[in-house]
Amino acid sequence: MAILEVKNLNVSYGKLQVLWDVCLQIEEGKIVALLGANGAGKTTLLNSITGAIKPMSGEVWFKGERIDNTPSSAIIAKGMSYLLEGGRLFPEMTIRENLEMGAYHRKYWSNRKKDMERMYKLFPILEERKNQLAKTMSGGERQMLAMARALMSGPELCLFDELSYGLSPKMVKTVFRTVKDLHAEGITVFLVEQNVHDTLEIADYVYVIENGRIVMEGDGYTMLHNDYIRQAYLGI
């Protein structure tokens, strides 16, 4: 069953159209990836799904309910979480305070202590440094905190934008392993990435976007061995 469906979505910035009849669906419990170069429309699509941008036309459905005219805060309350590129942490707040911000919605506030303990088990280093300011953390540690904060609302669907951006190869492996752990817990993941090889290794299904249009789709294994993907995105 699809937890998220995007139907014929068209989006523009003023007179400049950037998404053209985008259609995709994300099956519950799956890792679905969206691949594309810079400027292809990946982040615009995420912003449209989460209510930050109102589309010109088309529909977005989440858990059987149309949400393309729904405020972002209400979408989060329905069970969706969005981790923007770079994490967007509160640098002058501690790790614990950043995590609490992930549960700011009154629906989740009462469970914040239990959810925080779960995050500490998933990311032990966060508990060790819970009173440390976010701005003093390394890039990889900040990404872990950003992921944990996104999970504090107990989402059924996580949207991750460029999780591996700026990370060391070792930390990239850690981040992708965490995505697999979340998947094992039953959380559905929509992963938007430029790290094509690692993404194709874990994705159940993949969409490719170019110039604002979905141009290819298929299961992860098939796409990993597709000649066009290998030449255009993997340089093989």
Residue percentage of the chain with pLDDT more than 70: 96
Closest CA to 2 of 64, 76, 72: 64
Domain boundaries, the chain: 1-79+157-163+187-236
- Residue 21 and residue 123: Cα distance in Å, rounded? 39
Put simply, whether the predicted model's pTM sits higher than 0.75 gets the answer yes
Q: How does pLDDT run across 162-173, given as a tens digit for each residue?
A: 888 888 888 888
Lowest mean pLDDT among 16-25, 26-35, 62-71, 149-158: 149-158
- Residue 18: CA count within 13 A, CB half-sphere: 19
pLDDT band at 26 (very low <50, low <70, confident <90, very high): very high
pLDDT for the residue 77: 84
Instruction: Supply 131's token pair.
Output: 């009173």
Query: Under a CB-based contact definition with an 8 Å cutoff, are residues 191 and 179 in contact?
Result: yes
Task: Please give the helix or strand (H or E) that residue 43 lies within, else none.
Answer: helix 42-49
What is the phi-psi region of residue 64: left when phi exceeds 0, alpha when psi lies from -120 to 50, beta otherwise?
left
Residue 149 scores a pLDDT above 60: yes
What is the phi-psi region of residue 197: left when phi exceeds 0, alpha when psi lies from -120 to 50, beta otherwise?
alpha
| CATH 3.40.50.300 holds for 1-79+157-163+187-236 | yes
Q: How does pLDDT run across 171-197, given as a tens digit for each residue?
A: 888 889 889 988 888 899 999 988 899
- The order of strands in the sheet holding 80-83 is 80-83, 157-161, 188-193, 31-35, 205-210, 213-219
Closest CA to 107 of 128, 81, 138, 88: 81
Query: Under a CB-based contact definition with an 8 Å cutoff, are residues 102 and 152 in contact?
Result: yes
Q: Phi first, then psi: give them for residue 116, nearest 5 degrees.
A: -65, -40
Mean pLDDT for 115-137 is: 88
Q: Phi first, then psi: give them for residue 68, nearest 5 degrees.
A: -70, -10
